[in-house]
Chain A
Amino acid sequence: KGSSNIHEKLMITDIDSDQKDPKLCSLYASEIYSNLRAAELMRRPRSDFMETVQRDVTQSMRGVLVDWLVEVCEEYKMVPDTLYLTVYLIDLFLSQQYIEQQKLQLLGITCMLIASKYEEICSPSVEEFCFITDSTYTKSEVLKMESLVLNYLNFQLSAPTAKTFLRRFLRAAQASSQIPSLELEFL
């Protein structure tokens, strides 16, 4: 009751007041998001890894890689969450471990493989991931990289990404559910 009074005084709509729709999960919403925010703070990639950790890879290379991964994601019709998680995993790995320029794409598809295993109902096979690199890397290279990445990250993959919070912000902005993906396009 206390919180609803505050909401009334400040003329703010309590976005968790709709307790009828179970999908919005209003009773847990504030708890869920505070847990997510805590998780976000705890496992955040360094912001300066390009300058401090990496010597061979540059910002623009990362940019090209991410652009390419967006295309791969669309090609295999993966959910956007996979893409966001992939980029997060790449950044997290790059903030811990030096990597050569030639291996950056390998890191990219491996992170996408891991992210798709985590997020997708049916993830593309390792072979498909190799194929999309024009067979630059072999299956065994990808598998080796997979266990390397998993061990470096200590299997901690469940991290909130920008996409996770976007849903809540959209709701706070009272966006209509009829046109939800327009905002997502800009991210």
Chain B
Amino acid sequence: MVNGDKEVQGLQLPYKYENSLLLYISSHNCEISLLLFVAIWETQNTQAKVQINLRCSFIGSFLMEKYELIKEKNKRGFFEGRSLITSKIVTLKQLVVHPVEGVPASLIKEISLLHELENPNVIRLLEVVNSKHQTTMVLVYERMEMDLKGFMCIYPTVMTSPWTRKVLLRQILNAVSFFHSYNLIHGKIKPENIFVDPDTKVLKVTDFIWPRSILNQDSGDPHEDSTYNYMAPEILIEQKQYTTALDVWSVGCVFAEMVTKTPLFPAKTEFHQLLKIFSIMGTPHEETWPGIDEMHPHSYIYSRSEPKDLRELVPGLEPAGIDLLNIEVSLYDDHETYFAKVFSLALMPNVNNMGIFL
């Protein structure tokens, strides 16, 4: 079954994975053991059809001494597991070390940043487990319950409360201004990267592949991401220098989505994304965005449109929220747009006194 020639030593069926079975096959002569997701489709007849899903995941058997797996979390290689020592629920992410190039650059960055960043609203990396021959690594994070996207789907009524939205927004801003004070731009703030605990409403920001230094911007390329919906226009028009305004923009997009449940600027490609943004915020020209002609000489290709009223696009948001959103997603504004800190301090000082953690 495994490579044909390797002897399969043990076959256990310890984990049930929703409607499929998780086979855990360990083999002594290979360091990694193999988890197969065997989806079983019940047919009308008695015979069950077994189809082996080729999306197999390798999970190191070295991990089995410390953690037990509960289930696969999503298709991005995340697993939910339980520590055998503390019996706490954790999130596991497995990465294979490249046989030629060694530890991936993104991993080096992520781990070293997570060691440094300690904040209640930033995901914590508990440990890095190495396999004996350094072929695979597993990152152990604290539990990520549910991402904001899922949270909005599963608890639509909770999200209608302005209080919940304020509590969540405040925490996102807290995390973002924390990054900025560490000389980092997160760059990928989006609902999929924000995790929420449904009971306590504690929010954690994740994903540290992109971040770069604010003051020294020689590194990184932001275009590797496929979700453009939360991307600030200055990335889309390929500005070379980024500012902290980039994150504030993304926070604004997430904020609007918390109210309406759909992205504020939905689009599939980079080009359409800019079109969408300009159709709502107005096509920029030298008066509304000084320097735009130089940055984006082809801006004449976009049809001229006037800014729309966000009150109509984001119904149900109170006037103060509209004002805030307007500043967050403004194409060009005074310096205050750049600072998540300003928002997180000025915004909703009463939220702090409502028995919440910050």
Contact = CB atoms under 8 A, between A and B. Distances in A.
Interface residues on A, range: 35 or more
A46 interface: no
B349 interface: no
Interface stretch (B53-61, B106-114, B270-278, B315-323): B106-114
A28 B109 contact: no
Interface string A95-121: 000000000000000000110011111
B19 interface: no
B29 to A, nearest CB: 21
Contact of A147 (B102, B113, B219, B335): B102
Contact of B183 (A20, A36, A123, A144): A36
A35 interface: yes
Contact of B111 (A113, A120, A155): A155
B140 interface: no
Interface string B207-235: 00000001110111100000000000000
A181 interface: no
Contacts of A151: 130
A126 B101 contact: yes
Contacts of A28: 180-181, 183, 214, 244, 339, 341
A143 B97 CA distance: 10
Given A147-B103, A150-B103, A35 B112 contact: no
A157 B111 CA distance: 9
Contact of B182 (A20, A35, A117, A126): A35
A167 B108 CA distance: 25
Given A35-B181, A117-B108, A118-B108, A146 B103 contact: yes
B338 A158 contact: no
Given A35-B182, A126-B102, A25 B130 contact: no
Interface string A110-149: 0001100111110101110000000000010011101100
B13 interface: no
Nearest to A22: B243
Nearest to A34: B181
A163 B134 CA distance: 33
B111 to A, nearest CB: 4
B342 interface: yes
Interface string A8-45: 00000000000110110101100110011001000000
Contact of B339 (A27, A154, A156): A27
Contact of A39 (B116, B128, B219): B116
Nearest to A78: B218
B100 interface: yes
A92 to B, nearest CB: 12
Interface in B317-358: 335, 338-339, 341-342
B243 A147 contact: no
A64 interface: no
A118 B241 contact: no
Nearest to A24: B215
A162 to B, nearest CB: 13
B153 interface: no
Nearest to B181: A31
Nearest to B117: A158
Nearest to B127: A154
Contact of B181 (A19, A32, A79, A126): A32
Interface of A: 19-20, 22-23, 25, 27-28, 31-32, 35-36, 39, 79, 81, 113-114, 117-121, 123, 125-127, 139, 142-144, 146-147, 150-151, 154-158, 164, 167
27 contacts: A23-B243, A25-B215, A25-B244, A27-B341, A27-B342, A28-B180, A28-B341, A32-B214, A32-B215, A39-B116, A79-B218, A114-B108, A117-B104, A118-B112, A119-B219, A120-B218, A125-B100, A142-B102, A143-B102, A147-B103, A154-B115, A155-B112, A155-B128, A156-B112, A158-B115, A158-B116, A167-B216
Give the top 10 A-B pairs by smallest Cβ distance, nearest first.
A117-B105, A22-B243, A157-B112, A155-B111, A31-B181, A147-B134, A32-B183, A79-B218, A143-B102, A22-B338
